[in-house]
């Protein structure tokens, strides 16, 4: 393989990979200088001239002529007079010899090795470019096409054929994928694993919901409405705090859209995730009231030093504040940045009871469902029955019933 064929094949490969000409020339020179150092030990007395467009390569070795008995005769940039005369008979001491070193002089094996090195350098460069490209896209919304569905992850490809990874942990639980379908997600992170870029996507990140609002609500995209905070239980419930700097724009109304047109498309994308859009305010108590909606609050006590808030409300509002699966109060706490404790506000002489849904953090949901199935939907209704009656009417085991009774008793102690 001569220099022309080698450079032409490399240049074509580089162009196919969208490598610019200066980078291509630099890689060629680096590889050829490596070959020179392996063969001659040093490369500082070599000039390399490359014209990648024409497939030309010239490599010139420059050495100073010294006397045959000179002590410098063994230096890499020196040549004896007798050796110089073999090249040109009229050379004299002190002159410089310019000698062309052809690619073929390095040997077939070295040339083939250079070809493999050139291709590998381009592939490595391509990986670096891909890594840097997606590093800049972290947190941004992208599209990918599903091409392989595995147990722990779904593999997608972007428009340029690059592999993207959507792990099981970053998928919404209700997501179902088919080969060839288009999926939207945000770039969660990019990492190098054994020299290969690994691009991780996410559909559970709060950033994903934020980017969906930007794509569906023009006022958010244009910056007229700012998203102050997003908290999610992916696939179940989310709360989004929004703010408008223009008094003429209702931030909540703009995000929801006419008859919910804007929010519905986002809800469908998130597998019917229930999204509460809340108007942000610096007034903490008002913000907490909005965050706990639809529950109505009687009074609030804020303990800023401890990062806790005590919220008092009528007994019939407590289950609304907690929400199905406890998601409402969990997300409200995250949204406002305070741990929220809910207390029942009882009038004088009012008989206190507690809805079973309020124990969702302490008792498994399926146990609560079994109790409600037989008409036991409050704490006192369960405590009013002997343990044997509960065992007879439900499919619960004795150990489970005892644990439930102990939790409910502690509530009234």
Please provide the DSSP assignment of 71-116 as one string: GGGGSTTEEEHHHHHHH-TT--TT-EEEEE--GGGG-HHHHHHHHH
CA angle at residue 232 from 227 to 237, to 5 degrees?
A: 110
287: exposed, middle or buried (C-beta count within 10 Å: 0-12, 13-18, 19+)? Answer: buried
The answer to whether residues 160 and 78 belong to one domain is no
CATH no. for residue 157? Answer: 2.40.50.140
The answer to whether residues 36 and 90 belong to one domain is yes
Taking alpha carbons only, the member of 15, 34, 20, 25 closest to residue 56 is: 25
The answer to whether residues 37 and 150 belong to one domain is no
CATH no. for residue 112? Answer: 3.30.1480
150 CB-near residues (< 8 Å, 6+ apart) = none
CA distances from 343 to 301, 315, 319, 365 (A): 11, 8, 11, 21
Residue that is written with structure tokens 């890594």 in the block: 131
pLDDT in tens, the chain (413 residues): 556 666 666 666 666 666 767 777 788 788 888 888 888 888 888 888 877 566 567 788 888 888 888 888 888 888 888 888 888 888 888 888 888 887 777 777 877 787 788 778 878 888 888 898 999 999 999 999 999 999 999 999 998 889 999 999 999 999 999 999 999 999 999 999 888 899 999 999 999 999 999 999 999 999 999 999 999 999 999 999 999 988 889 999 999 988 888 999 999 999 999 999 999 999 999 999 999 988 889 888 888 777 888 888 887 788 888 888 788 989 999 999 998 888 877 654 455 677 887 788 788 888 888 888 777 778 888 887 788 878 877 888 888 888 988 888 887 76
Is 229 part of a structural domain of the chain? no
Is 21 part of a structural domain of the chain? yes
CATH no. for residue 368? Answer: 1.10.150
The answer to whether residues 197 and 146 belong to one domain is yes
The answer to whether residues 22 and 47 belong to one domain is yes
The answer to whether residues 300 and 315 belong to one domain is yes
How is residue 224 written in tokens? 């007229």
- The boundaries of the domain holding residue 102 are 3-132
How many structural domains compose the chain?
Answer: 4
Decide which of 347, 372, 395 is a domain's last residue.
Answer: 347
Bridge partners for 80 per DSSP: 66
């Amino acid at each position: 393989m001569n220099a022309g064929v080698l450079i032409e094949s490399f240049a074509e490969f580089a162009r196919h990979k969208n490598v610019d000409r200066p980078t291509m020339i630099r890689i060629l020179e680096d590889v050829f200088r490596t070959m020179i150092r392996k063969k001659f030990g040093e490369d500082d007395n070599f000039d390399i001239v490359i014209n990648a467009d024409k497939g030309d390569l010239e490599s010139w070795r420059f050495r100073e002529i010294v006397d045959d008995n000179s002590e410098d005769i063994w230096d890499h940039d020196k040549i004896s007079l007798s050796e110089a005369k073999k090249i040109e008979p009229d050379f004299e001491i002190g002159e410089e010899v310019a000698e062309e070193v052809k690619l073929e002089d390095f040997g077939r094996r070295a040339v083939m090795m250079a070809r493999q090195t050139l291709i590998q350098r381009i592939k490595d460069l391509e990986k670096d470019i891909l890594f840097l490209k997606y590093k800049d896209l972290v947190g941004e919304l992208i599209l990918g096409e599903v091409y392989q569905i595995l147990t722990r992850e779904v593999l997608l490809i972007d428009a340029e054929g690059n592999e993207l990874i959507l792990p099981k942990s970053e998928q919404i639980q209700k997501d179902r994928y088919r080969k060839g379908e288009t999926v939207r997600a945000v770039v969660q992170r990019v990492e190098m694993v054994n020299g290969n870029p690994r691009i991780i996507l996410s559909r559970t990140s709060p950033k994903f919901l934020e980017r969906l609002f930007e794509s569906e609500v023009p006022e958010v995209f244009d910056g007229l409405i700012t998203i102050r905070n997003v908290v999610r239980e992916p696939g179940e419930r989310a709360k989004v705090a929004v703010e408008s700097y223009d008094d003429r724009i209702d931030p909540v109304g703009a995000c929801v859209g006419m008859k919910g047109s804007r929010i519905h498309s986002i809800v469908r994308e998130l597998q019917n995730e229930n999204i509460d859009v809340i108007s942000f305010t610096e007034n903490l108590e008002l913000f907490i009231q909005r965050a706990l909606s639809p529950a109505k609050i009687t009074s609030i006590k804020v303990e800023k030093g401890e990062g806790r808030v005590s919220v008092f409300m009528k007994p019939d509002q407590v289950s609304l504040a907690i929400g199905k699966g406890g998601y409402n109060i969990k997300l409200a706490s995250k949204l406002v940045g305070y741990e929220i404790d809910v207390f029942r506000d009882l009038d004088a002489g009012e008989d206190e009871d507690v809805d079973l849904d309020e124990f969702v953090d302490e008792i498994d949901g399926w146990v609560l469902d079994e109790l409600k199935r037989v008409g036991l939907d409050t704490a006192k209704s369960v405590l009013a029955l002997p343990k044997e009656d509960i065992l007879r009417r439900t499919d619960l085991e004795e150990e489970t019933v005892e644990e439930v009774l102990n939790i409910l008793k502690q509530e009234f102690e």
